[in-house]
Amino acid sequence: MKHKIYFIGAGPGSPEHLTLYGLKKLKESRYVFAPNIYRKTFQKYLKGKEVYEPFDFLFHEIVNLVNKFLEKSSIAFLLPGDETVFSPFQPFIDYFKQDCEVIPGVGVVNAASALLKKTLDLPNVANTIVLTSTRSFKAAFEDHDFMQFVKRDVTLVLYMNHIPLEELTKRLIPVMGENCPISILYKISLPEQEIISGTLKNICKKVKKDYFSSVKEPSMAMILIGYVLNKRAKKSSWDYRKKHIWDKRKK
């Protein structure tokens, strides 16, 4: 059997979010590139494997290691969350296209929605969900004009926020309104997990530490903003769908 490179969506931190297929392929791989946070939480599954921190290497160094390892075994990369959004691993996936497989995982936004017990769209509240970051990756990190996507009927999901909370809420209030709900989810699925919820007006008072500094370690906080967070879904929306959509399909 030809060895392969598996890019496995590893979820927000806990191995419990790994898919069965991802786990199978991780078990088959003798070499693993795993960001530091997974070394601790995935300890049980990394036992006996050669584990490397991908962020210690340059692109060509990883390529050389992978080519060397491929002669002996399959290789797994544990990807934070899932490959769909804000993943730095795409250059490797493009490079090894024929020899690799990408395995989906639980994105941080999926885990956040589950923790809040909220779907991120609701009829007449929000039909659009914007996944974005306050900064963009150009030559260096530069400000990104995320405000162009901010609307009252949009749910905003912010990754890698670097704007101080006071300033962020000040920018958002004129568009979203001061009573707009906001939740900050810190280190989802890790022992330090915290969830702080409030409104754009009062969230700053509720937050006691800086969740967004990424100087010493990567910032592991996600922000969700939008009216879906405090609206209850109407019971009648189920019956409406049954009568007007699902029943018609049976005929």
Ligand X SMILES: C[S@@+](CC[C@H](N)C(=O)[O-])C[C@H]1O[C@@H](n2cnc3c(N)ncnc32)[C@H](O)[C@@H]1O
* Residues contributing to the site for ligand X (CB under 6 A): 12-13, 80-82, 84-87, 107-109, 159-160, 185, 187-190, 219-222
* 116-119-124-130 Cα dihedral, nearest 10 degrees: 90
Angstrom CA distances, 79 to 10, 11, 150, stand at: 5, 8, 28
Q: How far is the CB of 85 from ligand X (least distance, A)?
A: 5
What letter represents residue 122's amino acid?
A: L
Q: Which two tokens stand for residue 184?
A: 């900050």
For ligand X, which is the closer residue by CB, 29 or 134? 134
Q: Which two tokens stand for residue 10?
A: 């590893």
User: In this structure, are residues 109 and 131 in contact, taking their beta carbons and an 8 Å threshold?
Assistant: yes
Taking CB atoms, the residue at the shortest distance from ligand X is 81
For ligand X, which is the closer residue by CB, 9 or 181? 9
For ligand X, which is the closer residue by CB, 70 or 116? 116
For ligand X, which is the closer residue by CB, 88 or 177? 88
For ligand X, which is the closer residue by CB, 13 or 54? 13
Angstrom CA distances, 64 to 72, 74, 89, stand at: 14, 15, 16
Q: How far is the CB of 200 from ligand X (least distance, A)?
A: 19
For 192, the 3-state DSSP assignment is coil
For ligand X, which is the closer residue by CB, 30 or 39? 39
Q: How far is the CB of 9 from ligand X (least distance, A)?
A: 7
Cα(2)–Cα(74) distance, integer angstroms: 8
For 50, the 3-state DSSP assignment is strand
Q: How far is the CB of 191 from ligand X (least distance, A)?
A: 11
Cα(224)–Cα(19) distance, integer angstroms: 25
DSSP string, 99-110: GEEEE----HHH
Q: How far is the CB of 244 from ligand X (least distance, A)?
A: 34
For ligand X, which is the closer residue by CB, 73 or 87? 87
Q: How far is the CB of 22 from ligand X (least distance, A)?
A: 13
Nearest to 93 by CA among 85, 102, 84: 102
Q: How far is the CB of 139 from ligand X (least distance, A)?
A: 18
